[in-house]
A = this chain, B = another copy of it.
Amino acid sequence: MPILQPSSLHRTPKALDYGTYGLCTRVHKNARSTAVRARAGLRNSPLPGESRGAGAPAWRVSTRTVEPVKSRVTAQHVADRAGVSRSAVSRCFGDGQVSDDTRKRIETAAEELGYRPNAIARSLTGRSTGLVALLVAEMDNPHVDIVLKKLLLAIAEADKRALVIPETPRQDVTESTMHALDYQVDAIVVVGGTVSDRVVGQLRALDTPVFQFGRQLAGLGGVACDSHLGGLLGGQFLIRSGRTRIAYVTKTSSTDSNQRRRAGLAAALGAAGLPLLEELSEDNSFEGGYNAATRLFARLERPDALFCFNDMFALGALQAASAFRLRVPEDVAILGFDDIPMAAWPAFALSTLRPNLDAQIARLMAMIAEVCDGAPPRRTVDLVVPELVIRRTAC
């Protein structure tokens, strides 16, 4: 056995740990209270890692100075040093009542020892874990990237921790969810629209609150952009700008949001007595948008406006227009959805619908806060109104 180093300590077998470092081994449960320890002469015990109690420090086997161990400082260490009970330390770091004097001594001791309550142990007692699971399904969608990023930030700001569980080729979302539940998360957020209804149904049966982000499944609480309204607003805008042959570039995997956007557009067109042209993007990406737009532009009666399911499609369509030497927006207007950062780049200046993510996330965090406070989880979806962002490609 080489000389023990702080960094190797925490993986040393338990018994050796105690033996080598001479930490007090408990005789029996709860025998480690202040009174008992005081009787044994352990009051105001030294820093963990230093010798404690009577007898030669067994661990000082070499002349090398062993630095104080940084972690594994428990509430008991702090209690010993402050001359109080473990309960007092717990109350001090929790929301219990502690006298000013006690608090001060505990805080000093904790500071000196570098104590931080073990979140894992803390949550075992039935309190919340402070963990929010993010189930992310569409990892290839840049808009989901942004949503994920913003959610991570919001969760950190809310002083919670995000457990991110992606849908992998090997594991579907159901299995992933079960993994999340193993950690007793306070809430689960399903991000991305591709999770199947069957899976969401299973989720709903759990006793952990589940929320959906970006979809509108009945009976499950969450937030979403009002996709129908977005489709309607976009359609009306294109109609007002004089377009008459409006095509919708739709997605292969027919998600909730896609259907709603299309329905909103169809409503606007129907009201104006205009037909709804349509083209399917076989691939959920820039490439797919490019190909779909290419097919549209090759039609005998070319559309004069493309309303794309999302910005990536729209950027692909923009590229296709350029390949056809079509002027945008003169020959063809192109409208996206999502307002990804790229949409604002001067190279594209894409007109689009902005889902107002910050508002959505604020609502979601409020819902999470509610269930953390003990309220039953919401069963309704808050819809957030999207905003029409007019840039160059449609105006």
Contact = CB atoms under 8 A, between A and B. Distances in A.
A359 interface: no
Contact of A376 (B7, B163, B164, B179): B7
A160 B250 CA distance: 36
B116 A181 contact: yes
A208 to B, nearest CB: 7
B290 A207 contact: no
B178 A116 contact: yes
Given A163-B161, A183-B120, A206 B70 contact: yes
In the complex, the count of this chain's copies comes to 2
B206 A71 contact: yes
B346 A319 contact: yes
Given A164-B152, A345-B286, A119 B70 contact: no
Nearest to A6: B207
Contact of A120 (B166, B184, B347): B184
Nearest to A121: B124
Contacts of A153: 139, 166, 168
Interface stretch (A9-17, A101-109, A227-235, A239-247): A9-17
B156 A171 contact: yes
Nearest to A204: B7
A182 B123 contact: no
Given A184-B118, A319-B347, A10 B162 contact: no
Given A149-B139, A157-B168, A207-B9, A319 B345 contact: yes
Instruction: Count chain B CB atoms within 10 A of each CB in A71, A164, A322, A346 and give the residue with the most.
Output: A164
Given A123-B120, A319-B347, A156 B139 contact: no
Contact of A118 (B7, B70, B162, B182): B182
A346 to B, nearest CB: 6
Nearest to A129: B120
A120 B121 CA distance: 8
B205 A70 contact: yes
A329 interface: no
Given A70-B206, A118-B184, A345-B319, A162 B161 contact: no
10 contacts: A6-B207, A14-B126, A118-B182, A120-B120, A120-B184, A145-B149, A161-B163, A315-B347, A319-B347, A322-B347
A138 to B, nearest CB: 11
B157 A119 contact: no
A209 to B, nearest CB: 8
